[in-house]
Amino acid sequence: MSAQDDGWVLTDLGPGGLPPTEAPNPASQGIDAKSALEIVRQIHAEDLRAFEAVGSALGSIAELAEDVHEAFRRGGRLIYFGAGTSGRLGVLDASECLPTFGVGPDRVLGFIAGGERALRSPVEGAEDSADGGAEAVRAAQVGGSDVVCGIAASGTTPYVWGALREARSRGALAALVTCNPGWAKLEGASCVSRAVVLDVGPEILAGSTRMKAGTATKLVLNMLTTTAMIRWGKVHDNLMVDLTPVNRKLKRRAVGLVTRIAGVDPARAVELLRATGGDVKAAIVMGGRGVSLESARSLLASSEGRLRQALGGPLRG
């Protein structure tokens, strides 16, 4: 590596200089001389800005959630790319979708610069590789039906930008979740079709984006996948009817769902769940409408998996 590209030359700052997440926060100056109570009060006051920032971005979050919903309907995927805290949050959100909504393991994916090892410890230089992001997109075989969401609190992460550019070249919708209001001035920003901008301001510890930037990002990812899944029919009322009952807690929850929605007693709910192999929706339709498993699955297929429509006939009771 030459002296010109050894990482010490600040060539990626863009027109605005340091991103907001790297700037010193005047409100927390002298924090090292404060008591524990004063420190936690200061952190709490700053964390409230995360919620305010998300509130100001609800319109763009809803638009991206609808994009993801449409991708799911077309058989596409939501794929997150990030580094450090941002990458870990994407992997976390993706991993929760399978048990919560019963989707396949490839429907929502999370990639982090440096791979799985980076989930627990830093991998030096991984976030600085745009080629690494592009290669991860190629490895995921991203296509035109997918939504690729880059997560970059600073808005400047080369790994994320490499992924977004490659995704756009493959016809995918390229989206960005960032805490940098000036992201659109950066080189290559034209590849982004949808952006969620969270103006949280400087961190209480300059550059520590695991703080309010991370909090705001986690809130957005919660909203994004939950909204898309609700729109896709994975929820009935406010109940997770597409959960995968893989442990005792979730099996108890499944029995409760069938009992409550189908209007049967718990013993009958267990019978129905056993008959469906743990398919909660099919068990509910069987119990609620008094039909066979084959008919229940047919009703669900014709309603695109939406339980409310599948239960549209008169309930038995």
Q: What positions carry a catalytic annotation?
A: 96, 127
Question: What's phi and psi for 19, nearest 5 deg?
Answer: -65, 160
Q: Determine the residue type at 31.
A: I
Alpha helices in the chain (DSSP H): 36-56, 58-73, 84-101, 130-139, 158-169, 212-231, 248-262, 266-276, 280-289, 293-302, 307-310
The burial of 229, by beta-carbon neighbours within 10 Å (0-12 exposed, 13-18 middle, 19 or more buried), is given as buried
Neighbours of 131 (CB within 10 A): 12
* Separation of alpha carbons 131 and 163, rounded Å: 8
Q: Specify whether the CB–CB gap between 63 and 205 falls below 8 A.
A: no
106/201 Cα distance (integer angstroms): 35
Contact 77, 108 (CB under 8 A): yes
User: Collapsing DSSP states into helix, strand and coil, what is residue 119?
Assistant: helix
Give the CA-trace dihedral at 118, 65, 20, 210, to 10 degrees.
-40
Q: What span, in angstroms and rounded, lies between the C-alpha atoms of 40 and 252?
A: 38
